[in-house]
Amino acid sequence: FMMVLVCLIFSVLSTIEGQERPTVKPLLIMEAILVVVFTIEYFVRLWSAGSIGKYQGCYGRLRFARKPICVIDLMVVSASVIILLVGSNGNIFAASAIRGIRFLQILRMLHVDRQGGTWRLLGHVVYIHRQELITTLYIGFLALIFSSYFVYLAEKPSIDGTSPNGKFRSYADALWWGVVTVTTIGYGDHVPITWLGKVIASCFSIFAISFFALPAGILGSGFALKVQQKQRQKQFNRQIPAAAALIQATWRCYATTVGTSCSGTWRLF
């Protein structure tokens, strides 16, 4: 993870004006190290996949290589090898080629969560709260449609001669204003200029923003509940061996007590 992060930092520095030349050589060195490490790791995983029944044999390992994470690894390694071959010549194209693999370097961050636990957790939370999310998004979408339409109707006369500065020349412009407003981005490129448009925009913004903010609260509470559930499960799993050891010790003490006749609770067939 640290190697990937350092390589990503060098890649970002290589895009800053005046830092292209000083960072190309360290970036090439880090790329070479990462290529060696990831290539060895890829073939070791491909070889060790045969320990699983469904991946045994050549066909099974080929099926393992078709997994998305393995395909991404192969793409990253192949692109890095090509960049190293181009960059070793020291020409100007090398710097632009290295800058071109920034996206693949971002894909390397998937190595941190190879088992996909984060994505499974997110999918589980979304699936549990799907009804609430669908309801809030539906109401927010309706508010977006109606607010954009009413603002468009209020601002449309302003471009017909009343005010030449109106920007809502189409319903598409009004929808763009609605999206950047209810998501609290507010670029300011489209704003209502009439009093009626401002009143309508104020009322709908308060209503729509509240509904667009609800999914964040729903997901946040869902994540908190899921984390608490996992913590309780971990504590329960830690208590199982202790409870089993206590039961076994109690049974041994009972079985070895003088005058106690005990028999096995199983039969041999």
Q: Residue 79: give its domain's CATH number.
A: 1.20.120
Q: Report the distance separating Cα 147 and Cα 74, nearest Å.
A: 48
Residues 202-221 as b/e (b if ≥16 CB within 10 A, e otherwise) read: eebbebbbebbebbeebbee
Provide the pLDDT for residue 93: 45
**73 in a domain, yes or no?**
yes
* Judgement on whether residues 167 and 93 belong to the same structural domain of the protein: no
Q: For each successive 10 residues of the chain (269 residues), what is the average pLDDT? A: 74 68 70 82 86 83 83 79 65 52 67 70 86 88 89 73 63 89 83 87 84 85 84 82 84 70 49
* Judgement on whether residues 40 and 128 belong to the same structural domain of the protein: no
Provide the pLDDT for residue 268: 44
Provide the pLDDT for residue 189: 83
**17 in a domain, yes or no?**
yes
**264 in a domain, yes or no?**
no
Which residue has 């190293």 as its token pair? 84
* Judgement on whether residues 166 and 231 belong to the same structural domain of the protein: yes
Residues 150-172 as b/e (b if ≥16 CB within 10 A, e otherwise) read: bbbebbbebbeeeeeebbbeeee
* Judgement on whether residues 34 and 77 belong to the same structural domain of the protein: yes
Q: How many CB atoms lie within 10 A of CB 76?
A: 24
* Judgement on whether residues 25 and 109 belong to the same structural domain of the protein: yes
Task: Note down the domain range covering 177.
Answer: 120-235
Provide the pLDDT for residue 98: 56
Phi first, then psi: what are they for 255, rounded to 5°?
A: -70, -25
Which residue has 């001669």 as its token pair? 161
Contact call for residues 28 and 15 (beta carbons, < 8 A)? no
Provide the pLDDT for residue 91: 47
* Judgement on whether residues 86 and 164 belong to the same structural domain of the protein: no
How big is the chain, counted in residues?
Answer: 269
Q: Report the distance separating Cα 163 and Cα 155, nearest Å.
A: 9
Q: How many CB atoms lie within 10 A of CB 46?
A: 17
Quote the number of domains for the chain: 2
Query: In Å, how far from its chain's centre is CA 130?
Result: 18
